[in-house]
Structure 1
């Protein structure tokens, strides 16, 4: 399934943060949503998952908007937020059962997938723990497990690496690669450009609420006329050039 953002204008107040944002994410593809803090990455994601409503433009999954059928739209999405969102009164096991109910998953199949993920992230002995016993990294792992046990068609991942140790980052990237191979479309927001350069198929570069460039690394290198430029070099070249004209 294809995620498409079309001429999206939106934000939090009368003055729009996003200014005619357009891009798409296709099956079998990991797209990096690239930008510095405040560029508009998280605002874009909040529109995609339905926390914000566009002033104009639209977001569709295979041509269908959230407004047309919220339940079907959201069932196709799995979201890993930058800041883990857990309920203090629920154990890890209860969080996973809540995910099963929310996505109407087959209980046995979902638990088998969850058990594999729990072992992968070394949380299989923590099912009776409450969130206040977890470190930030452990909370982030709960978000990752909850997302990937759904077998969603589209994954939205917002700055996922904070608090994760190198082994957990490797496991997350392996899960992303497997989901992509299985046909998922994945959008990952990050400003850790070195990692994005290694793992993403394409990039959407956002600066001050606008898409400044889009394409794979080779296309972006050609755009700035440097075949050896890193993603970081490209981003700063493009955004600094834009800022100089303002």
Structure 2
């Protein structure tokens, strides 16, 4: 099992934003984390990444906790943030170099892994360019490349489709399916339900910091007595019927 989140409660300055959140992402599985803005998706991700300390509960990646093995824990996770974060004074090549250094990987190995991704995203001729000057979509492609080259056990991605053109969206979907085929795990937070339904094995719906429901599309449809409904139909029904049609 790659990721196990158990009874996780946490937030900011003693105020709990997420409460007793529990779910898992198994090896070779893509799980979609969905919910309205303010539901607790980003806060959950920040706790998994070790950017916030839980009030209570436990997070394990391949059986390791951040407290027990901080270096090994972090090396197992790659992260693609919603807002691309690039360094103003570093070229694309230097972004790959710093990624290799952060994960203690030989740069030659990282560069070799990066080549098909760079070609796919049409960045292979821009190694000496500064990503700071790229469009948002191109910056997102840099983030995706840097995440994939470390060959992570767990890939955590936050709204990865925002800013990408339709071709890049399809390319990313295929890359995520390839990661799943390798036995790696993916946790993906997204509002783009159509894309998510195509590639995710199951979903966790958060509302007001709580796990409102979880399961496959078929299981969610059965839970809400919506036989044959797709994910978007299920989510629209839940938002309307359960009274969380407004951002928290």
- Give the TM-score, by structure 1 length: 0.96
Distance 1:219 1:194 in 2: 17
Aligned to 2:63: 63
Distance 2:15 2:241 in 1: 24
Aligned to 2:2: 2
Deviation at 1:102, TM superposition (A): 1.0
Work out whether residues 155 and 185 of structure 1, in 8 Å CA contact, stay in contact via their aligned partners in 2.
yes
Aligned to 2:191: 191
Deviation at 1:229, TM superposition (A): 1.4
Deviation at 1:148, TM superposition (A): 0.5
Deviation at 1:239, TM superposition (A): 4.0
| Deviation digits for residues 149-207 of structure 1 (CA, Å, limit 9, x no counterpart) | 11111000000011100111111111111111001010000011121112110000001
Work out whether residues 34 and 191 of structure 1, in 8 Å CA contact, stay in contact via their aligned partners in 2.
yes
Distance 1:40 1:175 in 2: 26
What does residue range 1-246 of structure 1 map to in structure 2 within 5 Å? 1-243=1-243
Q: SS state of the match for residue 243, structure 2?
A: helix
Work out whether residues 190 and 196 of structure 1, in 8 Å CA contact, stay in contact via their aligned partners in 2.
yes
Distance 2:120 2:131 in 1: 19
Deviation at 1:42, TM superposition (A): 0.6
| Deviation digits for residues 79-118 of structure 1 (CA, Å, limit 9, x no counterpart) | 0000011110111100001111111123322211111111
Aligned Cα RMSD in Å? 1.3
Work out whether residues 218 and 228 of structure 2, in 8 Å CA contact, stay in contact via their aligned partners in 1.
no
Work out whether residues 212 and 239 of structure 1, in 8 Å CA contact, stay in contact via their aligned partners in 2.
no
| Deviation digits for residues 3-24 of structure 1 (CA, Å, limit 9, x no counterpart) | 0110010112322110110000
Gaps of 5+ in 1: none
Gaps of 5+ in 2: none
Work out whether residues 87 and 132 of structure 2, in 8 Å CA contact, stay in contact via their aligned partners in 1.
no
Q: SS state of the match for residue 16, structure 1?
A: strand
- Give the TM-score, by structure 2 length: 0.95
Distance 1:125 1:184 in 2: 29
Q: SS state of the match for residue 151, structure 1?
A: coil
Work out whether residues 96 and 110 of structure 2, in 8 Å CA contact, stay in contact via their aligned partners in 1.
no
